[in-house]
Structure formats: structure tokens, C-alpha cells
Structure 1
Amino acid sequence: MNRLFVEKIADLNNDFEALEEAFERLSWNSIDQCPWQGMYPYHPEARFQIAHSEQFIYLHYKVNEEFVKGQYIRPNENVWEDSCVEFFVSFDQKQTYYNFEFNVLATGLIGYGPADKSLRNRLSKEAVESVDACTKVVKRNGVKVWEIFLQIPKQLFGNISYTGKTFHANFYKCGDGLPKPHFISWNTIHHDKPNFHLPEFFGEITFA
């Protein structure tokens, strides 16, 4: 099982330039597990950083992939069909969890509930839009690299104590609707077909 520490930084409320500077000293984590490589051999390069403050959880993803697609523009649309990164997190020993899914356009989807998809619910448009983001795409010598910074308000999760606590999470990169579909994760998954909604395969994240 993968484990990581989530460092604490100052609140940077929507100052993405300052956030980028803060992340320069933080470590990277690879999204490099390919549980279904036999069916989906394409493997883009993806990695992420994570930190938290009094008010927010901050995420930074960086992706190098052959095709970059951004089609969906409204909250809770099918962003997993685009160039998409995802963060699933459980605060109650994997009984329930949140799934944050954002495409290259910073269009988001957020769900909550147990692993049984029939019992899961999407958060409101207002809740999804409360996650501020900054994205950029660079193409050099035919290679496309995109990254996204996410600022997730802790108030979305209710009254939770973070400092020194260990929770469970997984981080993903997917693109179901791309010319080369792919499904890769930070902590590996043992299942016969692509499915990120398996909290038993979440890793551990400890908030410093």
C-alpha cells in the first residue's frame, strides 16, 4: 500500500502564482500503476503533489500525454471522457468517500457515498464550483503537457480534524473518450476491468 504525508502550508486563497511557488519545494508522487495494461496499453506520464492549509486541500497534477481533450464544460458532466485527473478520499475508514474528477478545462464532477454506485450522489453545482482551479497546456516539439492546480475547501467535508490524522485516498489519470483510452492509478488496483470506485485499494495519506 502506498503512503504519503500531506504537508501543511499557508492559506493561499486563489493566489495560484503563490501556490505554484509553494509547490516547488514539495515532493512529487507518480500515478504509474496500470492495472489493465493488457486491455489498455497506452500509459501517459502523470504525477501529482498535495498539500493542505487551515481552509483548503491543494492538489497539483502534471500530465504528459499524446492527446489532450476537453469537451465537457458544465459541472457534473462526463469529464472522465476527457483528459481527466481524479482524487478519491475517505475520512471514515473507506465506508464512504468523495470522488473529485476534473478535466483539462477545470470542469469538475464531485460525488459522495459508499462504493455501491446506486447509493452515490453528485454534489450540487454550487459545491463543484467552490473548487477553484488553474490550468495550463504547453506544446513543445509535438509533445503536449498540461497541469492543473485545485483548491478544495475543507468545508465541503464538514467538521473534520486533519492534523496528524491518517485517511485513505487514491489518485488517478484517465481518458475514456480519448483516441488511446487509459486508466492509471497511484495505488494499484486488483480488478478484472477498469473501476476506480474500489476503496479497498485506496492508499494512506497522513496530514502533517
Structure 2
Amino acid sequence: MKRTGIQRVDDSVPLVGETAGTAWERADRVSIDRFLWTQPDSRPRTTVRALYDDETLYLHYTVDDGHSHAETTTLNGPVWEDSCVEFFASPRPDISDAYLNFEVNCVGTFHLGYGTGRTNRTLATPDAAADIRVRGSIGGPTKRPRSDDKRWWVAVELPFDILSDLVGVQVRPSPRTRWRGNFYRIRKRPETFYAAWNPVEASEPDFHRPAAFGELRFR
């Protein structure tokens, strides 16, 4: 099982692509480099960073992508059919098998839910989603592939109050808190591939597997 740290910060965390000179420099860099279920000709790099403070969990993905696309425009829609990155996490691994799934496509449309399985999930409401900030390098509402596609980034603020409402109890980590989680990437065009940070043992594509989560250590 892989492990990574999530650093606590006191200064502001900007939702920007250029991370030099910002709080993002203190975050561990996690590579989503375990390709699963298919054998793509190319295996483009995806890097994710995570930080937190008293109020918010921050995520930053940098994605090499020579064929980025997005068609989903609605909250909690099938963003996994687009060029997409994901964060799954069990905030109470010693108490419950339930987990959060946050999935966002390359233009910033996202899906957020909580539950114990793929079909038994409570989804974020539009009012809750309005308090989640997402910024990225590609404007929406959709994205068609272009010959000059090379890379995109997306940065996210996930307020702990929103996550707490979904979970049903307060979710507010502090140093030495341990979550279980995984980071993923999906692309369906022109060549389908699936990638994960922590290995997933399954015979067919399925990221809804808490047993495959690594350890997230809040510092």
C-alpha cells in the first residue's frame, strides 16, 4: 500500500497553474502512473498535489494530454466519459467503508458523492456545489481535441463543511489524521486508458474499490 502526506498550510493556496513560489511547493508530488486494464501506446504523466488548512482540502492536478476532450456540462454528470481526474477517499476508515468520490473533467465540471458502493451514493446538491471552487487551464463549457493539445491543469477547493454534510459527521482532519484514498485518471478518446496512484486489483475497470486505497497522512 502506498502512502503520501498532505501538508497543512496557513497561507493562502491559489488556484493557479504556475505553482512556483506558492504554497503548492510544499505539497508532496504524487504520480498517477499505474496504468490498468488496457495497454495504451503512450502513458502520459499526471501529477497531483494536496494541501489543507482548517477549512479546506486543496487539490492540484497537472495532466499531460495530447487529446483532451469534455462533453459533460452538468453537476454530477458522467465526467468519467471525458478527459478526467479523480480523488476517492475514506475519511473514517476505522469506522466505515463509505468513501467520497470527487471527479472533475478538463473544463472543471465535477461529480461529488459519498456512500458505500458504486450505486449507493449521496450526491452533492447544487447549493453545496456552489461553494466548491474549481479553476483550470481550459475554458468550457465543452472541449474538442485540437492539434496543439499538450497539457492541462485543474485546481480545486473542497470545503470540509461540504464534505461533512455529505458524510453526516464532522470531517476536519488535523496533523496525524489518517485517511485512505486514491488518485485516478481516465481518458476514453482516442485510446482508452485508466491510471491510478495506488494499484487496483480488479479484472475489469473499477475505481470504486476502497480495498485498493492507499494511506493519506495529514501532517
**How does the TM-score come out when normalised to structure 2?**
0.84
What is the CA-CA distance between 1:77 and the residue it aligns to? 1.2
What SS does the aligned partner of 2:206 have?
coil
What SS does the aligned partner of 1:34 have?
strand
Question: 1:106-145 alignment to 2 at 5 Å?
Answer: 106-115=108-117, 117-137=118-138, 142=148, 144-145=150-151
Q: Across the two proteins, how many residue pairs are aligned to each other?
A: 202
Deviations 1:37-78 (A, max 9, x none): 34x555221110001011100000000022011221221111
- From 169, 180, 183, give the equivalent of 2:181: 169
Counterpart check, 1:150 vs 2:162 = no
- From 103, 106, 114, give the equivalent of 2:105: 103
- Name stretches of at least 5 consecutive residues in structure 2 with no aligned partner: 139-146, 165-169
Query: Is the contact between residue 16 and residue 149 of structure 1 (CA under 8 Å) also seen in structure 2?
Result: yes
Deviations 1:137-180 (A, max 9, x none): 5xxx945110011010011222134111111000001023x211
What is the CA-CA distance between 1:101 and the residue it aligns to? 0.4
What is the CA-CA distance between 1:17 and the residue it aligns to? 4.9
Of residues 45-54 and 120-129 in structure 1, the stretch that sits farther from structure 2 once superposed is 120-129
Counterpart check, 1:198 vs 2:209 = yes
Q: Distance in 1 between matches of 2:84 and 2:109?
A: 9
Q: Which amino acid aligns with 1:30?
A: S
Q: Distance in 2 between matches of 1:173 and 1:63?
A: 9
Are residues 205 and 78 of structure 1, via their aligned partners in 2, closer, same or farther at CA, if it must alter by over 3 Å? same
> Could you tell me the percent identity over the aligned residues?
28
- Residue number in structure 1 paired with 2:65: 65
Q: Distance in 2 between matches of 1:42 and 1:36?
A: 14
Question: 1:6-25 alignment to 2 at 5 Å?
Answer: 6-10=6-10, 12=12, 15-17=14-16, 20=19, 21-25=22-26
- Residue number in structure 1 paired with 2:144: none
Q: Distance in 1 between matches of 2:16 and 2:104?
A: 20
The alignment yields a C-alpha RMSD, in angstroms, of: 2.2
Query: Is the contact between residue 33 and residue 197 of structure 2 (CA under 8 Å) also seen in structure 1?
Result: yes
